[in-house]
Amino acid sequence: MREKLVRLGYLLGLALVLSGILYFFASNWQGFDRYTKIALSVGLMLLFYGSAFAVRKLLPQQAFLSHWTLLAGALSFGLSIALLSQIYNTHAESYWLFLIWLVPVILFSFFTKYQPFYVLSFVLFQFTMAFFISPTGAVSQRGEQETLLLYAAMAFVNLLIFWIIKKKHLSSPVIMYAAFCLFHYIFLTVSLPDFTGSSSLRIGLIIFYLLFLLSSFFYFSKVEPQRSFLGISIVAFALFVIEQFFSFIFKHYAEWSLFLALGFVILFIGASVWFVKWLTANTSAQKTSLRVIKRIAVIGITAIASVIGSSSLGGLITLITGTYPTNGMLVIGVLLIVACYLIKADIPTVKYTLLMMGVLISGGASFFVNDILFFIYVIALVALLVFTKHTPVRLLLFVLVQGLLLIKVPTTYYDTIKIDYVLLALFLLNAAVYAINVHHAFKKAALLLAFIFLLSLTELSEPSFLNIIYCTVFFVISTVFLFVTVRKEPKYDFIVGMIFWFVFLAMKYYDFVWDLFNKSLVLVILGLIFLFLSRKWDLSTPDQPQPSFLDRSRTAVWIIILVQLIILGGIFTKNEVLLQNGKEIKLALQPIDPRSLLQGDYVELNYAIAHVTLPHVKDGEKVKLVLRPNKQGVYEYAKIYQADDDWNKPYTSKKKDVVITGTYHEWGIQYGIEHYFIPEGTGSKVESEARFATVRVGKNGDAIVTKVGK
């Protein structure tokens, strides 16, 4: 037990120190010059890598520490690439950034066989594909067919990864579940109405996905019963049916379509009763697993039928009456809930569908009725929660009542009851439920809700003394909770606490870190205290070293680190040579203001020279344009270009001419200088004031933007 506490202390201490360092960089970044930024970003990476080998030598009995610091080095390599791109204003949100990052991480995975490297490789691959298919800040030049094929390819790669791991060719349960979920997510996205038109390819992909879902039900319930994958498939099927329903309704909103939808619900529930009986008779699962599988099936069926049924019924009543009768809808919802309890027969799909339809209809209407009626409704739900015997129903009502109060009370009585008070009250309620002896499902739900409400409190107040109190309370409670639950089984409580602890650190990065230097100092001090205490309590001796992949793969790891340094050096050299030797020109532009995932705020620069039509040039072809200054000194397109090594007209270079390289598309020309990084929160100012960009262009036509202004 002591070993678990020591390991947790090391983990939290290391995370706090790293967070403090990153916060320090963030709050002081704009004050550093270019070379200092480069030295800090690369130095941070080397610090982590060096620490991995130093920790391995100093604390061989704690191999996990050297593994974590090596992983931190791999993460900092990606951040170094992002920061170099920010410094030189290149590759914001580019798939190249993630691809370059991915290569050494895959090599680390191959040589170390360390699970976190597998997971990081998987995540980076997904980002690489996502930004390749749909780059942000740029108009897509791909056609509908090509986009669909790329999304399908990404989905099938995830399915292949899932199958490889499931067949034990590779061991990584986290990636297996993630790949299976991503496969479904991509196809559900492609199936959305008007995603990329209604081509035969898209229709074919939707039909394939529907057949795949049906096959999954059969395979994971009968051939190889696995309730987790069956559950994911049923949830995906429910979402698929619901999105197709709303697509149909939006296109054909009329009484006949709503009657048709209600008829579908009745037939669907009837078919589901047969399906549950078939599942009971034909599956080869054990009795316990069969019960869980049936429960999952009932949940999926209920979700589909209740959403479609409540939407159709509400829409039909609105069409017939010409208005949305809130009091009447509340009564109808309550009657459906009562009907659920009046049915004596054990038909769970019917009973739960009536219950969910009643909850959806009455819950939605309750926000619009008068306050007295609302609180009577809430009291009735609480009474139902107390007296009903079905745990899933009680859990649903437990969450529903809190959701209704959280939304209704602060919005109705905002003059006297702040949302802080409601969140605090709900946190205390759930903490009390978690502390007492209740059903384990209630304890899990209460724990999750308590953390959500407490974390929400840290985001409500502006930078103030009250905000600091909320943040301190959350940090103390979550940290103590981790040390209390690390020794308990099962690990659900500890995992939930760990997730929220790290989410809190990540959220504070985008809080008021830019103006609060002391935050980074506090985090570093806390981290050092954690590390010191963990080392003091660590009773393990260096004479009993734990095995580490650093011992068997030391040479390979050093070679990979050297490759990363070469990559960073190449990026630095290429851009620095261009920056020092390129010819400075001034270009007209119109900016917009998006945000980069890794690198902070930037403006996307929309150059006047980008909107040029070049006859007989293919989409995606490299071109060179001749630019010349006008009377105001702003460089413009001189009507001369080169494509496929041929000039469109005879060209003799003039003294002030500049030749710039770009990629031609039907929507415009991309020069690779479309992004300019700016201090946090200054985008609107830059957007309103910037009219020109200062750019340096090299002899080979490459360019770097150095300044944006009036």
Residue listed under structure tokens 């954690």: 530
Using 50, 70 and 90 to split pLDDT, how confident is the model at 602?
low
Nearest in space to 106 (alpha carbons), one of 560, 549, 547, 597:
560
pLDDT at site 513: 41
How far apart are alpha carbons 586 and 627 in whole angstroms? 10
pLDDT at site 542: 59
Q: Per the structure block, which two tokens stand in for 294?
A: 């049936």
Mean pLDDT, rounded, for 138-160? 81
Decide which of 11 and 688 is more confident.
11
pTM, two decimal places: 0.76
pLDDT at site 481: 93
Q: Is the peptide bond before 679 cis (omega within 30 degrees of 0)?
A: no
Starting from the edge strand earliest in sequence, which strands make up the sheet with 658-665, in order? 646-647, 635-643, 622-629, 658-665, 668-670
Give the H/E segment covering residue 24. helix 2-28
In this model, does residue 402 exceed pLDDT 50? yes
How far apart are alpha carbons 354 and 265 in whole angstroms? 11
pLDDT digits (tens, 9 = 90+) for 165-186: 998 888 888 999 999 999 999 9
Average of per-residue pLDDT values in the chain: 81
Using 50, 70 and 90 to split pLDDT, how confident is the model at 350?
confident
Give the H/E segment covering residue 203. helix 200-218
Mean pLDDT, rounded, for 565-580? 87
Ranked by mean pLDDT, the top range of 189-198, 315-324, 500-509, 570-579 is 570-579
Using 50, 70 and 90 to split pLDDT, how confident is the model at 590?
low
How far apart are alpha carbons 32 and 34 in whole angstroms? 7
- The length of the chain in residues reads 710
Is the distance from CB of 97 to CB of 546 less than 8 angstroms? no
The percentage of the chain sitting over the pLDDT mark of 70, rounded to a whole number, equals 83
Give the distance from CA 465 to its chain's centroid. 31
The percentage of the chain sitting over the pLDDT mark of 90, rounded to a whole number, equals 18
